[in-house]
Amino acid sequence: MYDIAIIGLGPAGATLARLLDSNFSIAVIDKKRSDGTGFHKPCGGLLALDAQKSISQFDLALPKDVLVDPQIFAVRTLDIKTGIIRHYQRFYINLDRYKFDLWLKSLIPEHVDIFEDSICTSIEHHNDSYHLQYISGGKTKNITAKYIIGADGANSIIRKFLYPHKKIRSYVSIQQWFLEKHLNPFYSCIFDPENTDCYSWAISKDGYFIFGGAYPKKNCRTRFENQKKQLKELGFCLEEVQKTECCLVLRPSKFNDFCTGKNNAFLIGEAAGFISASSLEGISSAINTAYYLSEVLNAKKPNPCLAYHKKTLKLRLKLYLKVLKCPFMYSPPLRKLVMSTGINSIKVIKNTNK
Q: Cβ distance 283 to 203 under 8 Å?
A: no
Q: Nearest approach, Cβ of 79 to ligand FAD (angstroms)?
A: 20
Least Å distance, CB 84 to ligand FAD, is 23
CB 163 within 8 A of CB 259: yes
Would you call 129 exposed, middle or buried from its count of C-beta atoms within 10 A (0-12, 13-18, 19+)? middle
Cβ neighbour number for residue 63 with a 10 Å cutoff: 11
Smallest gap from residue 7 Cβ to ligand FAD (A) = 5
Q: Check residue 95 and report its DSSP letter.
A: B
Q: By C-beta, is 58 or 342 nearer to ligand FAD?
A: 58
What is the C-alpha separation between 292 and 31, in angstroms, rounded?
A: 24
Burial classification of residue 118, based on how many CB atoms lie within 10 Å of its CB (0-12 exposed, 13-18 middle, 19 or more buried): buried
Rounded Cα–Cα distance for residues 274 and 320 (Å): 10
Considering the complex, state which of residue 252 and residue 269 has its C-beta at the smaller distance from ligand FAD.
269
Q: Give the residues lining the site for ligand FAD (CB under 6 A).
A: 7-13, 29-32, 39, 41-46, 48, 51, 119-120, 151-153, 157, 173, 175, 212, 247, 249, 269-271, 275, 280-283, 286
Q: Quick check: 4 and 297 in contact, CB under 8 A?
A: yes
User: Least distance to ligand FAD from the beta carbon of 232, Å?
Assistant: 20
Min dist CB 157 to ligand FAD, Å, is 5
- Least distance (Å) between residue 41 CB and ligand FAD: 5
- C-alpha 124/C-alpha 153 separation (Å) is 20
Judged by beta carbon, residue 30 or residue 192, the one nearer ligand FAD is: 30
Nearer to ligand FAD, 142 or 340 (CB): 142
Q: Report the nearest approach of ligand FAD to the CB of residue 340 (Å).
A: 27
Which is nearer to ligand FAD, 19 or 249 (by Cβ)?
249
Residue number, 41 or 325, with CB nearest to ligand FAD: 41
Q: Minimum distance between the CB of residue 201 and ligand FAD, rounded to whole angstroms?
A: 7
β-sheet bridge partners, residue 88:
75, 345
> Kind of pairing, strands 129-136 and 200-205?
unpaired
Angle, helices 313-330/283-298, rounded to nearest 10 degrees: 170
Q: Which is nearer to ligand FAD, 7 or 148 (CB)?
A: 7
Residue nearest to ligand FAD (CB): 282
Closer of 78 and 252 to ligand FAD (Cβ): 252
Alpha helix stretches (DSSP H) within the chain = 11-19, 49-56, 97-106, 157-162, 220-233, 283-298, 304-311, 313-330, 332-341
Residue closer to ligand FAD (CB basis): 120 or 168: 120
**In 3D, which of 4, 10, 72 has the Cα closest to residue 39?**
10
CB of 337 to ligand FAD, least distance (A): 27
User: Is 35 in contact with 312 (CB distance < 8 Å)?
Assistant: no
Our measurement of the distance from residue 309's CA atom to the centroid of its chain's CA atoms, rounded to an integer in Å, reads 21
